[in-house]
Amino acid sequence: IPGQTWRVHDADRPHPPVVDPGPAMASAPAPKDAIVLFGGKPEDLAQWTSGGGDAKWRVVDGALEVNGSGDVQTREDFGDCQLHLEWASPAEVAGTSQGRGNSGVFFFGRYEVQILDSFDNVTYADGQAAALYGQFPPLVNACRGPGEWQSYDIVFAAPRFDGEGKLLAPARITVIHNGFVVQAQRELLGGTAHRSEPRYEAHGPTGPIRLQD
């Protein structure tokens, strides 16, 4: 990884310490000025698309449930933003490592904050929950158990490019997981990649927020 001594998905990279966030709290209503991308109602799904058509994730008990129908992304585009997201991995534990509850939130459809069941589940450190996938592990592992609600509060500053597509400023990201700061003003090294070096490709000032199937 550029600027680091570790390789991408390095199995020898130390894992961050485990911390206990305590039980999940009931979620508070969204602030009045927030754009609510999913508030628990079936009709909220209309704000999301999948593969150029309608999103087909199921609405179950006020939550969006991943069901194998593909990634979903917002119809609206965003640039710099603050995102509050609540998620839970499957209560029934199946699989190991990256195979356990793997999802993710991608800003501009390309910069991932990893979602994974990292409760008693070892995987490479740069791929665990709240990692900037393939780049930076979280500062601590603040995961709650399978099936429990967890929160991400993410402050995302989009990268800047000049007219020729040259990078002027990298994306910057701060992530709070269940109340713990786990990424503090991290400068992303580029778009999320799997088993390869991240790099930037120029894009416009806004883009969709994508959720991984």
68 torsion bin: left (phi>0), alpha (psi -120 to 50), beta (else): left
In the complex, what is the shortest distance from the CB of residue 122 to Mg ion, in angstroms, rounded to a whole number?
A: 16
In the complex, what is the shortest distance from the CB of residue 166 to Mg ion, in angstroms, rounded to a whole number?
A: 29
Kindly give, in sequence order, each residue whose CB lies less than 8 Å from that of residue 40, ignoring residues fewer than 6 positions away.
59, 62, 63
In the complex, what is the shortest distance from the CB of residue 84 to Mg ion, in angstroms, rounded to a whole number?
A: 19
CB of 39 within 8 A of CB of 27? no
Torsion of CA 194, 129, 135, 9, to 10 degrees: -50
DSSP secondary structure code for residue 110 in this structure: T
In the complex, what is the shortest distance from the CB of residue 31 to Mg ion, in angstroms, rounded to a whole number?
A: 27
Q: Which amino acid is at 12?
A: D
Cβ proximity to Mg ion: between 49 and 98 the closer is 98
In the complex, what is the shortest distance from the CB of residue 43 to Mg ion, in angstroms, rounded to a whole number?
A: 27
CB of 21 within 8 A of CB of 142? yes
Interface positions with Mg ion (CB under 5 A): 102, 104, 114, 212
Token pair recorded at residue 153: 């509060």
Nearest residue to 141 via CA among 18, 30, 26, 44 = 18
Cβ proximity to Mg ion: between 114 and 151 the closer is 114
